[in-house]
Amino acid sequence: MKDRRIFHGDFVYSKSFDRLVEYIGGYLVVTDGVIEGLFDRLPDEYDGLTIEDFSGVMIPAFSDLHVHAPQYPNRGIFTDALLYDWLQKYTFPLEARYADPTFARAVYDAFVDDLLRHGTMHAVVFGTIHEQSTGYLLERLEEAGIDAYVGKVNMDTDSPESLLETVDGSLLATESFLDRYSSQNHAKPILTPRFAPTCSQRLLTGLGKLAEKYGVGVQTHLVESKWEAKESVRRHPYASCDTEIYERAGLLGHGPFVGAHFIFPSDKDVRILKKYDGYAVQCPDATTNVIAGIMPSDSLADRGVRLALGSDVSAGQSLAIYRQAASSVRLSKIKSFYEPDARVIPFSQAFFAATKGGGSLFGKVGSLEKGYSFDALVLDGLSDPFLSLTPAQTVERFCYAGDATNIRARYLRGKKI
């Protein structure tokens, strides 16, 4: 017996980066957690079935392609330093505490709850170097039913003693993590060398062998600041750009490739990212808080790079990906002010990155089109006493000025949560 539900109300989703689609008083048919269609008028074949009316606007759930779960307690504080100092002073000391699994469990429970509260149902997540604590994070995401890639972090140089791994120790723990979690349904492992300044070539090459053996992808920070881009190739002089370091290590082409920030890419960085169908993840608030750069999302889109959004907590201050969509547009305006060749991106492009664009990493998620997983949110409480908003304007207002209390209902794979 098929489980079929029909929802009646207003809907908004992104078809492509230049096109938001809106249905006013439409009908969404969901069968066994998968969308069968979205219609202006209900087709005859569904006559006689119960129709569930809702008020507000239904949209697809969000995808966060770059977030550090262990940094959750630091969000919105420690904004007085830029990347290198911020890592040393605030981030590394907090991450060292995840040697204690009891601390990790408490934080990761709160993190997963808050992710869902903000409507994020698909995520690419950094843990720490600690296998056991990161394993708990993956288990919690799996249990919550969130589509996720989760990484035990690797770092074996230029890190504080408390987070410094040996090459062999790091590879052994990573392989054990892969062995344990490769066959989960929703939350899966991904290799996570922190970034090139804290990883030796031997470590990266060892991870490349694991990537091939296990058919697993990689996430890292790519060309995130001028310092990082220079430091990466200084430490890895056999490569001419940051992205090439991972290609040379044999890490690419075995699974998803997720590069956070991608703010100062050379043409070669772009070429390599595209060759392996990688994602460039913009984290707008994180980059203004601690990195001080703006991704060229206009020209990357023109060059056909897959773009997504990330909260990058705790460089970013909140798990609200919808706010990152608004910030992404704002940053493109600032960039265009200082750089005459830069183009302002439309809101539709940012919303696409937050939903269908980023969601494409996980399969058919992030849209309300036929065949997509019914992972959706109902927004409410955004109407205006002075003018009537279209459904698309309601979504735009939510991204700019709403918060998690405007998410009135959440559906994950067809089930209300």
Where does this chain bind ligand GUN (CB under 6 A)? 68, 87, 91, 194-195, 221, 224, 286, 312, 315
Residue 8's beta-bridge partner residues?
A: 27, 53
142, 312, 375, 396: which one contacts Fe ion (CB under 5 A)?
A: 312
277: phi then psi, degrees, rounded to nearest 5: 55, 35
Residue nearest to Fe ion (CB): 312
Nearest approach in angstroms of CB 196 to ligand GUN is 10
Taking CB under 5 A as the binding criterion, the range among 132-140, 225-233, 292-300, 308-316 that sits at the site for Fe ion is 308-316
Is residue 285 involved in binding Fe ion (CB under 5 A)? Answer: no
- Using the contact rule CB under 5 A, the part of the chain among 23-31, 190-198, 311-319, 388-396 near Fe ion is 311-319
Among ligand GUN, Fe ion, none, what does residue 194 contact (CB within 5–8 Å per kind)? ligand GUN
Burial code of 133-162, b = ≥16 C-beta within 10 A, e = fewer?
A: bbbbbbbbbbebbbbbbbbbbbbbbebeee
# of chain residues touching Fe ion (CB under 5 A): 1
Instruction: Give the pair of three-digit tokens for residue 306.
Output: 């897959």
Nearer to Fe ion, 14 or 282 (CB): 282
Q: Residue 221: left (phi > 0), alpha (psi -120 to 50), or beta? A: beta
* Nearest-CB residue for ligand GUN: 315
Beta carbon nearer to Fe ion, 296 or 310? 310
User: Which of Fe ion, ligand GUN, none does 320 bind, CB closer than 5 to 8 A by kind?
Assistant: none
CB-based burial of residue 199 (10 Å sphere; 0-12 exposed, 13-18 middle, 19+ buried)? buried
Based on CB atoms, which residue is closest to ligand GUN, 68 or 306?
A: 68
195 binds, among Fe ion, ligand GUN, none (CB under 5 to 8 A by kind): ligand GUN
Stretch that binds Fe ion, among 91-99, 109-117, 304-312, 335-343 (CB under 5 A): 304-312
Residues 6+ apart with CB under 8 A from 401: none
What span, in angstroms and rounded, lies between the C-alpha atoms of 129 and 120?
Answer: 24
Residue 261: CB minimum distance to ligand GUN, A: 7
Please report, in angstroms and rounded to a whole number, the separation of the first and last CA atoms in the chain.
22
Over the Cα atoms of the chain, what is R_g?
Answer: 21
CB of 87 to ligand GUN, least distance (A): 6
Encoded tokens for 352: 């696409």
Site string for Fe ion, 348-367 (x = CB under 5 A): --------------------
| Closest to 13 (Cα-Cα) out of 5, 2, 21 | 21
Stretch that binds Fe ion, among 84-92, 143-151, 306-314, 367-375 (CB under 5 A): 306-314
Least Å from the CB of residue 3 to ligand GUN: 41
Residue pair 66/37 in contact by the 8 Å Cβ criterion? no
Give the tokens for residue 64: 């966060």
**From ligand GUN, Fe ion, none, interface partner of 396 (C-beta below 5 to 8 A by class):** none
Residue 209, both tokens? 């062998």
SS (H, E, C) 178-219: HHHHCCCCCEEECEEECCHHHCCHHHHHHHHHHHHHHCCCEE
Q: Which is nearer to ligand GUN, 158 or 179 (CB)?
A: 158
User: Which residues bind to Fe ion, rule: CB under 5 A?
Assistant: 312
